[in-house]
Amino acid sequence: MYDKNLWDEILKIISKSVDADLVDTWLKPANIDVGTGEGVILSVPNKFFKSWIDKHYSKIILSILKDEFGIERPLKIIIEADKQPHKIAAKKSEKKNVPAKQSLLYSEYTFDNFVSGDSNNFAYAAALTVADGNFSIYNPLYIYGSTGLGKTHLIHAISNRIRQKFPKLNIMYMDAETFTNEIINVFAKHKGEHQQDQIESMKERFLSADVFVLDDIQFLKDRPKSLEFFFNIFNGFQMQQKQVIITSDESPQEINMAERMKSRFASGFQAEILPPTVEERVAILHKKAEELNTPITEHVAIFLAENTATTNSRELIAALKRVTLYASIEKSEVTEQLISKALKEAGMLRRETTAISPQQLITIVAESFNVKISDLVSKKKNKSIVVPRQAAMYLLKEKQGLSLKEIGAHLGNRDHSTVKHGIDTITQKIKDEDFVSDMIKKIIKKL
């Protein structure tokens, strides 16, 4: 079975050493399957990809599989058509018949296999309401939360159910990246006076949808043309009282967009998805393990849920896959010991790198930057305090695996989006500013 999450993880690691455009062009269209008898299968769109990847990237892919995931098997590159004629054929016909190129809907993301609970009750309930055809209550439905918490799963579940229940309705699902590509294409292909006609006709094609779903709107923040276009059709949908569903990693209030847009996006119903509780994590693990045909005991599910250094469902599932793979390679039962070993090797064991508490970590950060702890947890916003505070956020996440919510609680009760913003900012600074990266390195040595 192809494992898009694993492939995404691998791409993230490759991106550290390979130019992003190259990764986008050559590697993004591929997919990986590690669970076959033939070794690791990498499926690619055509023979050019095959020879290019073979020549330039097979070594790095193999070494990442080995070092990061403990997978040491031969790599076989196949052309997608050999393996999945079905999917390709579907894609092609979609291109011809559907108004705009849509992103693929995953039929496996349904309500049945979505775990609802404290972390996502509102989003879940609103999603079900919309999916059952109540299109005017929550419009737009805006679902937000950090990465890996089930936003895409939930809106696929909505889309799938609407397609099933109301086959006549035209439901258009797009991730923001596909959306942007569509727009760029039209702008690039048609210059001059034709352009405006083309844009109008594209707009009409979009507006012919009865329900429009846009995944990851934050992607449009730095793409003003696409954002403006989206806002335009969004208003068109609103005027026709057609349902729009949006996901984002930030609330409409926080997202960096023009006020006129934010207030419109916030005018329907907003629901935040938080990291899953331990009980939800256990339930998610059971569901995924069943789907993967490797059911686990309650004891194993609880141990994994409590000991994986993440509260993000995507990473939790990656940990589960790693553990089951490990067990099959070692031909062993899944025991606590095996889980600890598998997670530890991947740096995924909760608080494995340090015996110190979050409080001690914050103390070390404060001392290293020569600021007071009381300042770190205060509301002060001067740079000399903000940078150390963000450094503490970063280290609590990277080194102790705390959730954004937990980190916020340790640093003056900040909400998770503030913490996320802090971590994003300092991550960039580590890349750009030697002083910051040296300081972080120094602190890590002390931990």
List 2, 7, 114, 212, residue binding ligand ADP (CB under 6 A)? 114
Q: Stretches 18-26, 61-69, 70-78, 144-152: which one binds ligand ADP (CB under 6 A)?
A: 144-152
Q: Is 88 left (phi over 0), alpha (psi -120 to 50) or beta?
A: alpha
Of all helices (H) and strands (E), which one includes residue 22? helix 20-22
Residues 169/162, Cβ–Cβ less than 8 Å: yes
Distance CA 115, CA 42 (A): 31
Number of Cβ within 10 Å of residue 51's Cβ equals 12
Residue 324 vs 365, nearer CB to ligand ADP: 324
Nearest distance in Å: CB 9, ligand ADP: 12
Check residue 149 for interaction with ligand ADP (CB under 6 A). yes
Nearest distance in Å: CB 35, ligand ADP: 16
Query: From the list ligand ADP, Mg ion, none, which binds 103 (C-beta under 5 to 8 Å, kind-based)?
Result: none
List 50, 151, 286, 399, residue binding ligand ADP (CB under 6 A)? 151
Query: From the list Mg ion, ligand ADP, none, which binds 287 (C-beta under 5 to 8 Å, kind-based)?
Result: ligand ADP
Q: Stretches 33-41, 150-158, 322-330, 391-399: which one binds ligand ADP (CB under 6 A)?
A: 150-158
Nearest distance in Å: CB 173, ligand ADP: 13
Residue 152 vs 311, nearer CB to Mg ion: 152
Measured from each CB, the residue nearest to Mg ion is: 152
Nearest distance in Å: CB 423, ligand ADP: 16
Check residue 152 for interaction with ligand ADP (CB under 6 A). yes
- Tokens 């039962």 label which residue? 333
Nearest distance in Å: CB 23, ligand ADP: 19
Number of residues that bind ligand ADP (CB under 6 A): 17
Measured from each CB, the residue nearest to ligand ADP is: 150
List 314, 351, 372, 405, residue binding ligand ADP (CB under 6 A)? 314
Distance CA 127, CA 301 (A): 27
Assigned token pair, 261:
């847009």
**CB under 8 Å, gap of 24 or more: what pairs does 5-14 form?**
5/314, 5/317, 5/318, 6/32, 6/34, 6/69, 6/318, 6/321, 7/31, 7/32, 9/68, 9/318, 10/61, 10/64, 10/65, 10/68, 13/64, 13/68, 14/57, 14/60, 14/61, 14/64
List 147, 164, 208, 357, residue binding ligand ADP (CB under 6 A)? 147
Query: From the list ligand ADP, Mg ion, none, which binds 170 (C-beta under 5 to 8 Å, kind-based)?
Result: none
- What character string, x for contact with ligand ADP (CB under 6 A) and - otherwise, covers 283-312? -x--x-------------------------
**Strand intervals (E) in 132-215:** 141-144, 171-175, 211-215
Check residue 127 for interaction with ligand ADP (CB under 6 A). no
Residue 49 vs 265, nearer CB to Mg ion: 265
Cα-trace Rg, the chain: 23
Could you list the residues that contact Mg ion (CB under 5 A)? 151-152
List 115, 246, 342, 395, residue binding ligand ADP (CB under 6 A)? 115
Closest among 249, 267, 280 to 152, alpha carbons compared: 249
Nearest distance in Å: CB 247, Mg ion: 7
DSSP characters over 420-445: HHHHHHHHHHHHH-HHHHHHHHHHHH
Burial of 239 (C-beta count, 10 Å sphere; 0-12/13-18/19+): exposed
Check residue 313 for interaction with ligand ADP (CB under 6 A). yes
Number of Cβ within 10 Å of residue 109's Cβ equals 19
Closest among 14, 61, 60 to 34, alpha carbons compared: 61
Nearest distance in Å: CB 115, ligand ADP: 4
Q: Stretches 109-117, 186-194, 319-327, 396-404: which one binds ligand ADP (CB under 6 A)?
A: 109-117
Assigned token pair, 149:
């918490």
Closest among 153, 152, 173, 179 to 244, alpha carbons compared: 173
Using CB under 6 A, list all residues that contact ligand ADP.
109, 113-115, 120, 147-153, 284, 287, 313-314, 317
